[in-house]
Amino acid sequence: MPVTFVPEQKQFSKEKFQKVNLFDTERMFCDIYCFEPGQEQKAHSHAENDKIYYVLEGNGDFTVGDETVKGVPGTAVLCPPGVDHGVLNSGGERLVVLVFMAPHP
Amino acid sequence: MPVTFVPEQKQFSKEKFQKVNLFDTERMFCDIYCFEPGQEQKAHSHAENDKIYYVLEGNGDFTVGDETVKGVPGTAVLCPPGVDHGVLNSGGERLVVLVFMAPHP
């Protein structure tokens, strides 16, 4: 049975933010992204894919298009196809984000 | 910008568990499911869709195929296409689960 306990999956690096895959199918993937303070996922886009960010812990700046919101635990953000999006850990704590993308890129 | 604060989206009913949509596109949807103690989503399957459950609060029994696991906050479960799956709030507290499905049914 495909089941995982997400708090045990967290991985951090001083080099760059870490992506840890939880589930990966032909149709979608689900990861956690783990950011040390100051680390970021630079703005980028996917032509045909939706991405959702859901903040698990910490806080950061989530940019979609030309808007930026402060995300805290419980914040969910949708990044539509073709729209630039990125994340900056602007807080003083580690930032952990659940990420879902469909269809699989 | 499509953003929501999930703790403010919770809805409960004594009648049955509640589904609250967060995001809905042509490619996927993202909901929260809100269960009072004893409420359940009965076993069912989707022929061509992946579903992910991620426990936000409370605890419950998550069944996929012929296996059942106890889910607590931080537990993530993948329900593959064609496999029966269901949720029972077997705890004494309210259960809130983040749900992703792709492709959109």
Domains of chain A by range and CATH? 42-105 (2.60.120.10)
- Chain B positions in Cβ-Cβ contact with residue A76 (cut-off 8 Å): 3-6, 22-23, 30
Give the per-residue SS3 of A58-104: CCEEEEECCEEEEECCCEEEEECCCCCEEEECCCCCCEEEEEEEECC
Q: What residues 71-90 of chain B have any CB closer than 8 A to a CB of chain A?
A: 71, 74-78, 80
Average pLDDT over residues B54-70: 97
Residue B76: count of CB within 10 angstroms of its CB: 23
What does the alpha-carbon distance between residue B42 and residue B78 come to, in Å, rounded to a whole number? 16
What does the alpha-carbon distance between residue A18 and residue A32 come to, in Å, rounded to a whole number? 8
Q: Is A105 in contact with A45 (CB distance < 8 Å)? A: no
Question: What DSSP designation does A27 have?
Answer: S
pLDDT in tens, B45-56: 999 999 999 999
A51 token code pair: 């991405």
pTM of the model: 0.97
Residue B10: count of CB within 10 angstroms of its CB: 14
Average pLDDT over residues A55-80: 97
ipTM > 0.90 (yes/no) = yes
